Amino acid sequence: MCHHATKPLPPEPHSTPAARKFLRRCLSDWGLMAMVEDSELALSELVTNAVLHARTPLLVSISCADSIIELAVFDGTPTRPTMRPHRSDLAGDLAAAHALEAELEEVPHERDPRLHVGPAGSVTGGRGLLVVDAVAAQWGVSPLSDGKAVWARTPVFDGWEPAAPCPCSASDQALTLASGHPVAER
């Protein structure tokens, strides 16, 4: 069985809570509320990354096919996201950021590039893909002619039975998810 829904969103901060609300509605309709916490966390990070870095209109896609939930965020830039390494010396990085703040007349904004300390990036941000990697079974980027899709996939819990028949079963067109995986079950 498969289920699929999309929602266009603007590249604005309020898009992250709007995406979570959309996700909750989909998972509730599909009988998958047990999957909501990790799914919300992953989707929040994907949308936030797109808002902060792509700055183009977004399309959020939520699918459940072949017993896999796939969350995807489409944006209009081909630039691939970068997973920052884990911090090896958080105390040292915080001390360096604190010393920088002491030198400046104003406190830098949390995304200020001057707060990028070492290869792990900013001490106040840049952990989004590490979070996605921790809560999803798989994640990746699918390049598109007009941008990209960043997606995360997680198996549904054992014993899940769809609440309704597959809405695309009447269609002759094969559904392909953002990750490039075709939907096998109809």
Among 3-12, 83-92, 112-121, the minimum mean pLDDT is found in 112-121
Contacts of 53 (CB under 8 A, 6+ apart): 77, 79, 81
pTM for this prediction: 0.74
Q: Over the stretch 140-164, which tens digit does the pLDDT of each residue have?
A: 888 889 999 999 999 888 877 766 6
Look at residue 22 and give its three-state secondary structure.
helix
Q: Over the stretch 46-83, which tens digit does the pLDDT of each residue have?
A: 998 899 888 899 999 999 887 889 999 999 988 887 76
Q: How many CB atoms lie within 10 A of CB 173?
A: 6
More confident: 106 or 75: 75
Q: CA–CA separation, 25 vs 149, rounded Å?
A: 22
